[in-house]
Amino acid sequence: MSKTRVIWIGLALLLVAAMVLPFLVKNYRVFQFNLVLVYAIAILGLNILTGFNGQISLGHGAFYAIGAYAAAILMDRAGLPYWATLPFSGVLCFVLGFLMGFPALRLAGHYLAVATLALALAIPQLLKYKLLEHYTGGVQGIVLVKPEPPFTFRFLDQPLSADRWLYFFTLAVTIVMFVLAWNLLRGRVGRALVAIRDHPIAAAVMGINLAMFKSLTFGVSAAFTGVAGALGAVVIAFVSPDSFTVTLSIFLLVGLVVGGLASIPGAFFGAIFIQFVPNIADELSKSAPAAIYGVLLIVLMYLMPLGVMGMVRKLWARWQPGAARLQASVKPGTSVPVPPDLTKESTT
């Protein structure tokens, strides 16, 4: 069976499982899975920028926050229905990300990391600022109403509760976002991004407009994370400055690396890590749960330095018989997402 066949069948099975799952578990677990999907979209956004394009961002929590607050303000102050807020969040974050892309052009590596970190740090302060308080709710935040399902039915003897309905909504959005990303990245745009990441000078020589591409990538990446933020706000039904501290940005980055750089499916593994490992750590220790989290993270980095998908790729390559391995790696016309070799220092 060819690789693509296997992948398609696998995806179909996964989709069926994902749709049946909420009826097999309690509402609270559905809520957790919902958050996993939300984080997966956010990490996917970050991956587009950092994994595929090599621009390190320690501040994606800022875009998540902006998307969340945009949705909250539109829902609470302007009375928009929850599904209509997603495009707004996406577009707003695209514009802001694009603007952020300009200073990012001049900065590289660690400098860019710190600049984006600065963005993440500034966001809580801005949200609390008294001139914006009327919109943002200041330190108290905004309490939202959780959407009700538009119709009801029962499946496997469980009703379509609000949590399950939101889960399906999020699942639909997730599928759309991932298909968009996959489409974007497997074509010329994707190759251009990877080229810019690995050999920017060669890419420029080949006619790729570095400035345009890099800024657009920032915008698209921010848009994805912004949509995730909006979804998050709807699911949790509450936003406040304390929900979007620099810790969020750090955790998104952790999720990215754990899942695997330059890998679309990796986003799910990263999301599962950042959603469930803190709970595991909490159960193991009340005195120092963060330490358990740190230890688990370090151990994971030892075992899978290229993330979960890096390990999967390695195993897949080993599983393939010799001739097929050679054939799979050299196929004109298709793109193979190449894990970045970031051991080399960026010199521009």
Partner 1 sequence: MNVEGVIHQIFSGLANGCIYGSIALALVMIYQATHHLNFAQGEMATFSTFIAWALIQKGMPYWMAFALTFGLSFLAGLAIQRLILRPVERAPVLTNVCVFIGLLLIFNAFSGWFFDHTVKAFPSPFAQEGILKTPFFSAHEFGSFLVMLAVLSALYAFFRFTPIGLAMRAAAQNPDSARLVGIRVSWMLAFGWGLAAAIGAVAGMMVAPIVFLDPNMMAGILLYGFAAALLGGVDNPWGAVIGGLIVGVLENLLGAYVIGTELKLTVALVLIVGTLTLMPSGLFGKHVVTRV
Partner 2 sequence: MKLKHLSLAIAGIAAAAISVSTMAQKKYDTGATDTEIKIGDTKPYSGPASAYGTIGKAISAYFDKINAEGGINGRKVKYISLDDGYNPAKTVEQVRKLVEEEEVLFVFNPLGTPSNTAIQKYMNTKKVPQLFVATGATKWGDPKNNPWTMGWQPNYQTEGKIYAAHILETKPNAKIGVLYQNDDYGKDYLKGMEDGLGEKAKTMIVSKVSYEVTDPTIDSQMVTLKSSGADTFFNVTTPKFAAQAIKKAAEIGWKPTHYLNNVSASVGSVLTPAGLDNSKDIITTQYGKDPTDPQWANDKGMQDWKAWMAKYFPTGDVKDASNVYGYAVAMTVVQVLKQCGDNLTRENVMKQAASLDITLPTALPGINIKTSPTDFYPIEREQLARFDGKTWVLFGKVYDPGGN
Query: Considering CB distances under 5 to 8 angstroms, the limit depending on partner class, which of partner 2, partner 1, none binds residue 126?
Result: partner 1
Q: Is 338 left (phi over 0), alpha (psi -120 to 50) or beta?
A: beta
4 interacts with partner 2 by CB under 8 A: no
271 interacts with partner 2 by CB under 8 A: no
Query: Considering CB distances under 5 to 8 angstroms, the limit depending on partner class, which of partner 1, partner 2, none binds residue 197?
Result: none
148 interacts with partner 2 by CB under 8 A: no
What one-letter code names the amino acid at 92?
A: L
- The whole-angstrom separation of Cα 111 and Cα 109 is 6
Are 146 and 165 in contact by the 8 Å Cβ rule? The answer is no
- Kindly report the CA angle at 7 between 5 and 11, in degrees rounded to 5? 120
Query: Could you tell me which stretch among 71-79, 154-162, 212-220, 340-348 binds partner 1 (CB under 8 A)?
Result: 340-348
Contact letters for partner 2, residues 67-106 (x by CB under 8 A): ----------------------------------------
114 interacts with partner 1 by CB under 8 A: yes
Query: Considering CB distances under 5 to 8 angstroms, the limit depending on partner class, which of partner 1, partner 2, none binds residue 237?
Result: partner 2
Selected binder of partner 1 within 11, 17, 25, 129 (CB under 8 A): 129
CA distances from 109 to 44, 83, 113, 135, 320 (A): 20, 37, 6, 35, 36
343 interacts with partner 2 by CB under 8 A: no
108 interacts with partner 1 by CB under 8 A: yes
Closest by Cα among 212, 213, 181 to 195: 213
291 interacts with partner 1 by CB under 8 A: yes
Between residues 236 and 297, which has the closer beta carbon with respect to partner 1?
297
Q: Is 187 exposed, middle or buried (0-12, 13-18, 19+ CB in 10 A)?
A: exposed
Selected binder of partner 1 within 18, 162, 236, 250 (CB under 8 A): 250
12 half-sphere exposure, CB direction, 13 A CA radius: 5
Between residues 30 and 264, which has the closer beta carbon with respect to partner 2?
30
What one-letter code names the amino acid at 301?
A: M
What one-letter code names the amino acid at 302?
A: Y
158 interacts with partner 2 by CB under 8 A: no
Written as six digits, the tokens of 68 are: 């969340």
290 interacts with partner 2 by CB under 8 A: yes
